[in-house]
A and B are shown apart, each in its own frame.
Chain A
Amino acid sequence: MTPFLACPPLLGFLPPAMLAVLSAEQINRMLESLERNLLTPIPLCFVLGIVCTRIHGGIKIPKELYLSIAIFLLMSIGFVGGHELAHEYQAHGVSTIWKPALATLFLGCVTPITSFVVLRYLGRLSIADSAGIAAHYGSTSAVTYAVANSFVEQTQHPANSFLPTLVTILECPGIAIALVLGAALMARERAAKAGGGRAREGKLGEALYEVMTGQSIMLMAGLLVIGFISTMFMTEQAFQPFYDFFQSKGMLFRGALCIFLLEMGLVAGERLGDLLKVGPFLVAFGIGIALVHGFLGAYFGHLAGLNLGGCTVLAAIVSSASYIAAPPAVRLTLPEANPTLSITAALAITFPFNIAFGIPIYYEMAKWLGAT
């Protein structure tokens, strides 16, 4: 429960800052929104998972079930995304798509750099640690997308239909940039130290290749292309059964998310002990950088013409950190990076924060920025 305990001191700094910008009524609405978000099945299942680990309870989700749901979620995101992208393309050509896509690509390239700078120069972390953590924050969490999407649908402000495309765009560039940055800076540091350390040739290329061809990206991007092509060349009736399976009016998807979040709660709960090891700076970083990146996402999303739901979801995915695709890539390229820091930040700080507080906050941010 420590992330939630860490919040009050941090939130202690926020209200004065917020009061300067928001009216009391808006803050009230935000608190209502937070309350509404927390008391729904998906975050509550996450909390259940955490509670279970703390009381040494006996919930055990079979690994294969978890992996199967992950595959289903990734395929759904890609497939429905591709389908909607095709519709959008048929209706408007690329006019409504290219700006959000560009904005997302831009954010994907900026977030690893902002993370790195804050970690290295504010947090005084080593190059390897900073780049490793930055690689996580430069990428995204598909689960955060799913939860954010579920939230905006519940508020009757569904996101633009082609949002899954943006999730796919966000996955790779951030990791690549952070790793290249980290490897380059480490090589420079090693050259400066006479004869200290050995270069790790070749692993960067291998790591980048694995990121581009990993399960998450292959399923999302692959099904996106499949959904797109199928929509363009099939009749609505022939396509319907496929669509129903993957979209199923959100029912299968949302139910599966509950099981998934339960498992994530179990995993995050195990890591709560690590929070004490990583120190207050990282806790503050996990929450602070999420808010900053979330704001950037909402801002550029609005600039690119996304609707209220779209801005919220984009904010959520830009602020989220990867904990599936990034860790092995970092491990291969920057083995000096301490894995406890990056995984704890991504999984035990930012992820729970986003699920509980972040998403409703980004929703209010988007509204404040004027999105509709």
Chain B
Amino acid sequence: MQLYPLKLVTVVGEGVIMTDIAEEAMKLGATGFSITEVNGHGSRSARNVIETGGAKTLKAEFVVPMDVAERILTHVSHEYFEHYACIAWLSDVQVVRGQQYIS
């Protein structure tokens, strides 16, 4: 089995910005993303939209090479960290047939 080392960028934040972040990441070189609804609480917890109204905390994950990962993390921290409840981290993953995820 061929495994290829890539980076997993995970961004967790307010629902209103996550779809924007996903689109912007695609423009920065990500070839795809997954979004999950999560529950939680943070230092900002600026969850001003009532939960049942449909707004939520979302987690977006991108499997990308290192240079794209750096671009995404830089972009997210510059654009969103100042005003929105948001956290982002990087981890290492080994992807099956990973070559196709390098754009």
Give the distance in Å from the alpha carbon of A335 to the alpha carbon of B54 in the complex: 19
CB distance from A318 to the nearest CB of B (A): 21
Contact (Cβ within 8 A) A328 B16: yes
A339 contacts chain B at the CB level, 8 A cutoff: yes
Residue of B nearest to A266 (CB): B52
> CB-CB < 8 A to B50: which residues of A?
267, 323-324, 327, 343, 347
B55 contacts chain A at the CB level, 8 A cutoff: yes
B53 contacts chain A at the CB level, 8 A cutoff: yes
Give the distance in Å from the alpha carbon of A332 to the alpha carbon of B17 in the complex: 8
B75 contacts chain A at the CB level, 8 A cutoff: no
Contact (Cβ within 8 A) A331 B54: no
B101 contacts chain A at the CB level, 8 A cutoff: no
A11 contacts chain B at the CB level, 8 A cutoff: no
CB distance from A193 to the nearest CB of B (A): 16
Give the distance in Å from the alpha carbon of A191 to the alpha carbon of B19 in the complex: 30
> CB-CB < 8 A to A327: which residues of B?
48-50, 53, 55
Contact (Cβ within 8 A) A331 B52: no
Contact (Cβ within 8 A) A335 B49: no
Give the distance in Å from the alpha carbon of A338 to the alpha carbon of B47 in the complex: 10
B38 contacts chain A at the CB level, 8 A cutoff: no
Contact (Cβ within 8 A) B48 A340: yes
A263 contacts chain B at the CB level, 8 A cutoff: yes
CB distance from A264 to the nearest CB of B (A): 9
Within 8 A of B (CB), among A54-102: 61, 63, 66-67
B51 contacts chain A at the CB level, 8 A cutoff: yes
Contact (Cβ within 8 A) B52 A63: yes
Given A331-B48, A339-B47; A67-B54 close (CB under 8 Å): yes
A130 contacts chain B at the CB level, 8 A cutoff: no
Q: Using a CB–CB distance below 8 Å, which chain B residues touch chain A? A: 14-17, 46-55, 82-84
Identify 17 residue pairs between A and B in the complex whose beta-carbon atoms are under 8 Å apart, listed by A's number. A63-B51, A66-B52, A215-B54, A324-B50, A324-B54, A327-B48, A327-B49, A327-B53, A328-B15, A328-B55, A331-B16, A331-B48, A331-B49, A332-B17, A339-B49, A343-B50, A347-B50
A-B complex: 6 closest residue pairs judged by Cβ atoms? A339-B48, A335-B83, A327-B49, A343-B48, A331-B16, A328-B16
Q: Using a CB–CB distance below 8 Å, which chain A residues touch chain B? A: 61, 63, 66-67, 215, 263, 267, 323-324, 327-328, 330-332, 335-336, 338-340, 342-343, 347
